[in-house]
């Protein structure tokens, strides 16, 4: 069973938000969706769920197009953190509502999960902490028995303990191979720790699709000080400068080769070491040419 998003496009108030967005989403994967504020992450989720009608494009489940009339709700669960209609409702009533939508809803599993985290079924949503609310939403998603779960900013505003609780639920559910998660988050460290794959949403479409395990095998982050600030041409061509601190450069090579390694050592740098590569670093490589992001890239790409 595969979800395929193909050429999805959406305008809001006449402005292009999504344009020809395409990707596939498979069971057993935890996929992170990363983009700057206003990139269209929430719009993408709502358009995938047909809350917004796209200008063009399709979302298919097993090659069958999803549409407002199709009975696909048993397969995809969307946790929209920006909208909630249950402020004064009790947790039990929320579960009863979703049980009507999802015929396979496991009420006993839901109640066991919330009780495990000391949340009473009689508690009102508006009286719960953000961490408890996030836990309830995750419990609803998992109890729905939907194989595909979309989470929009699930870690936003959570303290360390609550983040750990939500993360644990996600990892446990994905481990069985029957659940797939598509998660947007500004907390790239959280995504880095749980994601198998990351999509970068920029300029209205998916610009990069990274398998993180493969990326870490091929990429390197190097911290280096070159003599007389002379950067080897191959390093300029193949590397992306993400930070400058005095004469210290931090450079990411998404495809680190023997030729690059040779060029670095041949330059006999004053100092050089490899640093751990993070998802935040990878995201920075997609943003270095944004005019509001980084000054200093010109010094790296052009000889003085």
Place of tokens 């398998």: 211
pLDDT along the chain (304 residues), means of 10: 93 96 93 92 94 93 74 78 78 94 94 95 94 92 94 89 91 90 89 93 94 94 94 94 94 96 96 95 78 48 42
Q: To the nearest whole number, what is the mean pLDDT of the chain?
A: 89
**The pLDDT value given to residue 291:** 45
E strands present in 69-204: 76-80, 148-152, 180-184, 197-202
The answer to whether residues 89 and 136 touch, using CB atoms and an 8 Å cutoff, is no
Query: Within 13 Å of residue 228, how many CA atoms lie on the same side as its CB?
Result: 6
CATH 3.30.70 holds for 219-288:
yes
Cα–Cα distances in angstroms (integers) from residue 205 to residues 8, 80, 182, in the given order: 9, 21, 16
Q: Which residues touch 124 (CB under 8 Å, ≥6 apart)?
A: 87, 88, 89, 90, 91
**The pLDDT value given to residue 293:** 45
* Homologous superfamily of domain range 3-214: P-loop containing nucleotide triphosphate hydrolases (3.40.50.300)
**The pLDDT value given to residue 303:** 42
Domains of the chain, residue spans: 3-214, 219-288
**The pLDDT value given to residue 71:** 63
**The pLDDT value given to residue 224:** 97
Return the number of other C-beta atoms located less than 10 Å from residue 120's C-beta: 14
pLDDT tens sequence across 27-38: 889 999 999 888
Q: How far apart are CA 55 and CA 9, in angstroms?
A: 6
């Amino acid at each position: 069973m595969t979800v395929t998003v193909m050429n999805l496009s959406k305008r809001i108030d006449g402005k292009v938000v999504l344009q020809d967005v395409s990707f596939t989403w498979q069971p057993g994967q935890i996929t992170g969706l990363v983009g700057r504020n206003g990139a269209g992450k929430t719009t993408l989720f709502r358009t995938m769920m047909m809350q917004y009608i796209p200008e063009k494009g399709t979302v298919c489940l097993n090659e069958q197009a999803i549409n407002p009339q199709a009975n696909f709700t048993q397969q995809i669960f969307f946790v929209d953190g920006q909208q909630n209609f249950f402020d004064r409702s009790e947790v039990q009533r929320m579960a009863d509502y979703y049980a009507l939508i999802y015929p396979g809803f496991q009420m006993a599993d839901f109640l066991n999960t919330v009780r495990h985290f000391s949340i009473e079924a009689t508690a009102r949503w508006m009286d719960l902490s953000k961490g408890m609310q996030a836990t309830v939403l995750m419990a609803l998603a998992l109890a729905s028995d939907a194989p595909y779960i979309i989470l929009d900013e699930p870690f936003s505003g959570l303290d360390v303990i609550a983040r750990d609780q939500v993360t644990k639920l996600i990892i446990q559910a994905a481990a069985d191979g029957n659940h797939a998660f598509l998660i947007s988050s500004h907390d790239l460290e959280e995504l880095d720790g749980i994601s198998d794959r990351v999509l970068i949403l920029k300029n209205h479409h998916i610009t990069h699709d990274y398998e993180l395990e493969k990326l870490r095998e091929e990429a390197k982050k190097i911290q280096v000080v070159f003599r007389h600030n002379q950067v080897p041409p191959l390093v300029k061509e193949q590397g992306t400068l993400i930070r400058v601190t005095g004469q210290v450069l931090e450079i990411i090579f998404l495809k680190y080769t023997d030729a690059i390694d040779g060029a670095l050592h041949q330059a006999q740098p004053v100092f050089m070491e490899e640093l751990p590569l993070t998802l935040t670093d990878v995201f920075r490589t997609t943003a270095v040419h944004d005019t509001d992001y980084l000054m200093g890239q010109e010094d790296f790409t052009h000889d003085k």
